[in-house]
Structure 1
Amino acid sequence: MLMNNQISNRQTGVGLIEVLVAVLVLTIGILGMVALQTKALQFNQESVYTSQALMMAYEMTDRMRANKGSQLDYLVDYGSNVIANADCESSDCSPSQMAKFDAAAWKSAIEVNLPSGDGQIAVDNSGTRPFYTISVRFSDQRLDSALEGGTAGASLREVSVRTEI
């Protein structure tokens, strides 16, 4: 009997330690799942922005193809403001006016739909036929805030489409 009493005295509290270890392991697992879910949401948002940028680049390619002969009027740089001289939705326009109208509407849509969004249309005349590069860039603001110092614009993403029209 004395031996039985000594063994039970040494094991007092062992069950509580086992429960605490189990709770610790469970907590670490839950924190891991929360971190995984947060990353999944971040990558999902970046994927949405990339898809929107790509659709906008292809939309501009289609507009340029529909207005053949005025492709050079579509050329715009990052940071430039394009001003449409005519409202081509409600009245007839020349091909050049339509190009400026399309470029202004395109740049405006990029700025509205993408964080720090901007667009560029450039031409490469080095070959026998010109190639046009339509680029859309945007900032992943979640990544900007996660970077040390919160440097705005440090995580610029760019989507480009190169085409022959």
Structure 2
Amino acid sequence: MHLIKREISGARSRRRSVGGVSLIEVLVSIVIASIGLLALAGVNTASMRYTKMSQYRATASQLASDMGERMRANKGQAAVAAVVGPPAIPAVVASGFFAGDYDFTSDFAGQATKATIPAALNVPTDSKYLCSKQASVCSAAEIAALDLAQWRILVRDQLPAGSVFLMRQAGQVAMDLWVVWRDPAVASTEDAPALTTECPDDLHRGDDPEPASIRCSFFRINL
């Protein structure tokens, strides 16, 4: 009788042990599955993030190409000194691109608000309205001012906090152009090192509360 009781008790102990092991295995499986799901979520997030970054850079390239065409259409003339002669040749005043009419070197903070069309070129009844009427007598400087305003509006509409920075290359018929935007999705420390040479110094990116979120695409436009 005692032997039977001991056997029954031992069987119950073994069942409890097996049941405990099974529960631990289930819990471990749940933990492993959770880690796998978190890793998958991280991969998906990173994939979406880099896809969006590629889209921003593609948009920046299209915008840079647009400004390049605008500058080529209003290239103007380089300054030429007068020649006493004979024959006497009058001086030529620089205009358009050569006069620096397309230079734009405002820092990022200075472009916090959306650009507007110059008031003098935005009167529908005026001959200079958007420099588009046949009777328009816009100067090269006015056309450049309109080009810059319209282009900056496009940049702001197509990119988050879209901004720009344009600076002529001394001694070359070329423009260094940066298209700038704010990308909160990549405002992390792992991206920060790549930004040290991505934007021009005069953009003063470091003065921004979230400097790592400011991204730049650089283009050199040869005219």
| Length-normalised TM-score, structure 1 | 0.80
Deviation (angstroms), 1:68: 2.4
**CA spacing shift, 1:11–1:143, aligned 2, 3 Å:** same
Distance 2:143 2:68 in 1: 14
Deviation (angstroms), 1:60: 0.2
Deviation (angstroms), 1:8: 3.9
Distance 1:115 1:154 in 2: 14
Distance 1:115 1:158 in 2: 12
Corresponding residue pairs, total: 160
For 1:21, the equivalent position in structure 2 comes to 28
SS in 2 for 1:122: strand
2:142 to 82, 97, 106: 97
Distance 2:219 2:16 in 1: 76
1:157 to 204, 208, 215: 215
1:125 to 167, 170, 180: 170
Q: Is the 8 Å Cα contact of residues 162 and 182 (structure 2) preserved in structure 1?
A: yes
For 1:141, the equivalent position in structure 2 comes to 184
For 2:80, the equivalent position in structure 1 comes to none
**CA spacing shift, 1:101–1:44, aligned 2, 3 Å:** same
Distance 1:30 1:159 in 2: 35
Q: Is the 8 Å Cα contact of residues 82 and 100 (structure 1) preserved in structure 2?
A: no
In the alignment, is residue 40 of structure 1 matched against residue 98 of structure 2?
Answer: no
For 2:101, the equivalent position in structure 1 comes to 73
Considering only aligned residues, what root-mean-square deviation do their CA atoms show, in Å?
2.7
Deviation (angstroms), 1:100: 1.4
**What is the identity percentage for the equivalent residue pairs of Structure 1 and Structure 2?**
28
Distance 1:101 1:138 in 2: 22
SS in 2 for 1:88: helix
Deviation (angstroms), 1:115: 2.0
**CA spacing shift, 1:89–1:29, aligned 2, 3 Å:** farther
Unaligned runs of 5+ in 2: 77-95, 122-128, 190-207
Unaligned runs of 5+ in 1: none
Deviation (angstroms), 1:12: 3.0
Q: Deviation digits for residues 84-113 of structure 1, max 9, x if unmatched?
A: 332336423343322211111011222222
Q: Is the 8 Å Cα contact of residues 160 and 181 (structure 2) preserved in structure 1?
A: yes
Moved segments of 4+, more than 6 Å: none
| Length-normalised TM-score, structure 2 | 0.61
1:109 to 139, 154, 160: 154
Q: Which amino acid aligns with 1:57?
A: A
Q: Which amino acid aligns with 2:130?
A: C
Q: Is the 8 Å Cα contact of residues 60 and 134 (structure 1) preserved in structure 2?
A: no
Deviation (angstroms), 1:133: 0.9
RCO (CA 8 Å, sep 6+): is it higher in 1 or 2?
A: 1
The structure with the greater share of residues assigned to strand is 1
